[in-house]
Homo-oligomer: A and B are copies of this chain.
Amino acid sequence: VARDVNKGRLEAFSDGVLAVAITLLVLDLHVSASGTDSLAHQLREEWPAFSAYVISFFVIGVIWVNHHALFVMATRVDRALQFYNLLLLFWVSTIPFTTAALADYIKDGDTGDVRMAVLLYGVSNEGMAISFFLILRHLLRRELLPRPVPPADGRKALIRFAFGMIVYPVITVVGLFSPVAMYVGYLGTIIYYVVDQTPLVADEPVEVDAIDGSDDLTDSA
């Protein structure tokens, strides 16, 4: 029982930080009745802010889904895991700032500054990908999972997460030349996580409902 409570609080605190960060994004959206521009005009002008808002909302949303999928498997939480988790939450908490900077500079349009903002946003995302990799590796190494994972399966899961560490830099480099292409890239990774149902660690019938491979979102949508 003590162990569940323990894991429960780590999840509750993480849920709190993720919920606050995802909702604070809205503070970046602004229109004002005091100027001469019509609201319709302002909404069109603000497309970089709205696009960045939508993407960052689902980036954090996917982080929550993945965080959930990782920790639902863990049977134990140790102190080191708490700090790796804190590292993940740190990068999540920077998203409202890097999103605001991205939107502001894309709207402004100076190429050098846009590139810097694209890099900044990439750092947030790369930081999260690395943190997730560290969490999974720690879960596997410290045997915090309900049963020993065959080394081959563990390696496969690690490679999948490492893939996330490579995809963000690629999207960022694309973004240096075309922010719109970068938006498309981020949308692609979000859709990948929505559609992909591969269990992180195979042969875990206990958690079958959490990582159910038979569920086809597009069919039921």
The residues of A with any CB-CB pair to B shorter than 8 Å are 2-6, 8-13, 15-27, 29, 31-34, 38-40, 43, 54, 57-58, 61, 64-65, 68, 72, 76-80, 82-83, 86, 89-90, 93-94, 96-97, 101, 104-105, 107-108, 110, 112-113, 116-117, 120, 134, 137-138, 141-142, 194, 197, 206-207, 209-212, 215-217, 220-221
Contact = CB atoms under 8 A, between A and B. Distances in A.
Contact of A39 (B16, B23, B116): B116
* Number of identical monomers bound together in the oligomeric complex: 4
Contacts of A134: 221
Contacts of A25: 93
A27 B58 CA distance: 20
B23 A206 contact: no
A65 to B, nearest CB: 5
B18 A20 contact: no
A78 B17 contact: no
Contact of A2 (B2, B83, B142, B207): B207
A93 to B, nearest CB: 5
B80 A215 contact: yes
